[in-house]
Every structure is written in C-alpha cells, then in structure tokens.
Structure 1
Amino acid sequence: MPLQNPPGPAELAIPPLALRPWRDDDAQALHEAIRESLDSVGRWLQWCHVNYDLDAARQRIAACKQGWDAGGQYAFAVFDATGRLAGGVGLNQLDERNMRGNLGYWMRTSVNGRGYAAHAARAVAVFGFETLGLQRIEIVAATGNLASQRCAERIGARREGIARSRVLMHGQSEDAVVYGLVPTDLDQPAAAQNAAMSS
C-alpha cells in the first residue's frame, strides 16, 4: 500500500556521493551502467539482463518517477564525486499499515569495493525513517549474494533468518537471508561508518 502524502523530490548529499530521484535524461547513463554490470548485477536482479537496451532504461526511469509521485516507491540514482552514475538505491514494497518498507541497492561493476552501496543505503534508510516515518526496513538478499549481505550488516541491519524460496532468480525460486533494520540500529559509531566507506 503506498504511503499517503508522498514527499516531493529529495536530494541527499553524502560526500563523496550525491543521491537524487531518477530523471529522464539519466537513461543513457543507466543503460551504460547496466551493460557494464551484467555479470555482477545481472546475477541477482532479474531486470538486469543481456537484452537491456536504452528503451528498457527509459521505461525503468518512468516507473521510478511514477512510483515516487504515487508514494509507492522511492528510487534514488547515485552519483560519485565526478558526477558519474554509480548505481541505484531505493525503498519499495511499502506497507503503510505497519510502516514498513524494503531497501534495495545495486552498484555498477567499476565502483565495487569502494563502500558506495553501504554509504548510499544508509542514507536512504535514514530518509525512510526520518522523512517517510517508517518503523522497520527489510533487506532481502539471496543466500548466495554475499556482497548484498555484507552491505546490510555494515549499515547495522540484523540478520533475522533465512526465508525459503523467498526470491525468484531468473525463473528459479531461491532461499534468501532476511535482515531487519529499525531506527536505533543506525546509531552506530562513526568509525564503523567510515570503515564501510574504506572497505
């Protein structure tokens, strides 16, 4: 269920990254980032596939914009210090009754290892708690997606268990690790946050 009274476009400055809602003119950059990352991102996200073309990028951006306006999802494009698209982070599967949402993220292959995913995911989690008023955020990662699990743990999410056949990966149901994040989980020492950026 979408949240009532969705907020307007929000920009999050978290040096060296900048996050903002997707725009129509991001299509070419999104297309290039996905084509670069088929072997990494494509392994875990069904929409990232070998036939991903510029029109698919345009359609995805249109869906993200529509979702934001309707209060159904909040998808951010992530840019590095040079203004190059680094990836995307977003909140979706919003449940207004229980004030809960799902946090998802991906980074292009060429920025892997810089801690960008954790840095951006934490900022969007804060947005979810402080701006949307969520009380719980979940991160669901296939059991084989160790990078996503490490990211969840770096931002303070707690591993709560394994859900059987929780995600569909290229037509095949797979088990997934479920992480839970509540506002107090983000109260971690600055040193831990800095470690996430340097790792």
Structure 2
Amino acid sequence: MGIPMQRKAIYRDDEFEIRPLDVSEAPALCEAVQSSLNEIGRWETWCTESFSLEDASNFLQFAETDWAAKNSFNFNIIAIKTGLIVGAVAINCINHRNQMANVGYWVRTDHTRRGIAVLAAKTIVRFAFDRLGLTRLEIVMQEGNLGSQRVAEKLGAQFETLARHRLVYRGEPRAAKIFSLIPEDIISA
C-alpha cells in the first residue's frame, strides 16, 4: 500500500481536476472555506469564521504528514479554467487491520448542486478500493445533513444506522447517519 505523495491528479476532465493537497494552496483553501461558512459550517466544526490562513497551512502540513503515515489521503477539487478550489474529498480514519476507512467530502457554497461532490466521491471511492485495497468505506454525517446524505445515496451507499452520539460538533455530541460502501456496490452500480 505504498502510495507516494505526488501531485498527480487521480481524476481530470475538461472542468475539474482532483489532486493531492499542496501546502502552497493555503490561501486558496482558506478562501474556499470562508466562502462556505453557511453551508459547511452547519455540519463541520472546523468550518468557522475564525478559520485562518494559519489554520489552512497547518491542515495542509498535517495532511502531508498523514499521507506519509498512510493515515489519510486528502485531495482538492480544482476548477480547471479558474484554478479555484471548489471543494475537497478524503479517505480518513483508516483502519488498516480491518481494511476500512471513512469518506469525507465538501464543496464550496457557490459550486453546490452541480454533481461535483458525487463525482469527487466516486473518484475517491475507486481510489480507496483499487489503490488502497480497502474493503469497506463509511460515510458518517450528522443527522439532518441532507446534502451529504444525497451524495451517499447517489454513490449507491447503503444506509446502516442512526448512531447516537456518534459525532461531536462544537463540543456537543450529535447523532449521525452511517452509510457504507463495499467494492461490490461499485461493481453493480
């Protein structure tokens, strides 16, 4: 499972590229997060008005370290024509022993409802199964996050449960829906 940190895209078409994060993209990442406070901030603790350039830089450095340790694999979604970061997608919380991990995704507010999250999530799911050899992926979202739920459903993920106190949001335990994908789900889709 030696996946070296490279800047090579795992997906590219005429509109978008999905490629590993780059520490030089901190200003663009900070701007993308700041422009998405209303939608993403409702569900993700890290998305706040105080998210700064330093926070973006720290996250990107952490992501590179985590990639090297094979603990997570984070990618930016880039608009080809503008170079704008329109979102991100990741495989994280990797459990190597049980060959499973979480899938995470977000798309900036001004680019939602265009199928970008589904495209990125399909790409990262194939990466996880084909390149990382994982056999189970989970998509965990706060109850009520209908946008994320729609993406999971469009991927063909199976709803498994509503887990009590599964996530902590700004210090408060929250229920979360758990969806799962296994390789056979992708083959049949």
1:24-81 Cα deviation digits (max 9, x unpaired): 2111110111110111111111111111111111011111111111111000011123
Q: Deviations over 1:64-118 (max 9, x none)?
A: 1111111110000111232211100000111111100100011100001101001
* Inter-partner Cα distance in structure 1 for 2:168 and 2:98: 24
For residues 126 and 93 of structure 2, what CA distance do their matches in structure 1 show?
A: 17
- Is residue 162–residue 178 contact of structure 1 (8 Å, CA) maintained in 2? yes
Aligned length: 186
Distance 1:156 1:7, change over 3 A: farther
User: Hey, what's the Cα distance between the residues in 1 that align with 2:29 and 2:112?
Assistant: 16
Amino acid in structure 2 at the alignment position of 1:47: W
Write the letter of the residue equivalent to 1:78: I
Question: Which stretch of the first structure deviates more once superposed, 43-52 or 13-22?
Answer: 13-22
Q: Report the equivalent of 1:32.
A: 31
CA distance in 2, matches of 1:165, 1:60: 25
The DSSP-based 3-state class of the residue aligned with 2:28 is helix
TM-score using structure 1 length: 0.89
Q: Is the contact made by 1:161 and 1:179 (CA closer than 8 Å) also made in structure 2?
A: yes
Q: Deviations over 1:146-194 (max 9, x none)?
A: 10011011111110111111011111111111001001111355xxxxx
Partners of 1:86 and 1:103 in 2: CA distance: 17
Give the 5 Å matches for 1:109-148.
Answer: 109-148=109-148
Q: Look up the SS of the partner of 1:161 in the other structure.
A: strand
Task: Report the counterpart of residue 10 of structure 2 in structure 1.
Answer: 12
Unaligned runs of 5+ in 2: none
Aligned to 2:171: 171
Q: How does 1:183-194 map to 2 (within 5 A)?
A: 183-188=183-188
**Structure 1 consecutive aligned stretches of length 4 or more whose deviation exceeds 3 Å:** 4-8
Secondary structure of 1:45's counterpart equals: coil
Residues 44/90 of structure 1: CA separation in 2 closer, same or farther (3 Å cut): same
Question: Does the CA contact (< 8 Å) of 2:67 and 2:73 recur in 1?
Answer: yes
The amino acid across from 2:131 in the alignment is T
Give the match's secondary structure for 2:37: coil
Please give the TM-score of this superposition, normalised by the length of structure 2: 0.94
Aligned residues with identical type, % of pairs: 35
Q: C-alpha displacement at 1:134, in angstroms?
A: 0.2
SS of the residue corresponding to residue 98 of structure 1 reads coil
Kindly report the root-mean-square deviation, in angstroms, between the aligned alpha carbons of the 2 structures.
1.3
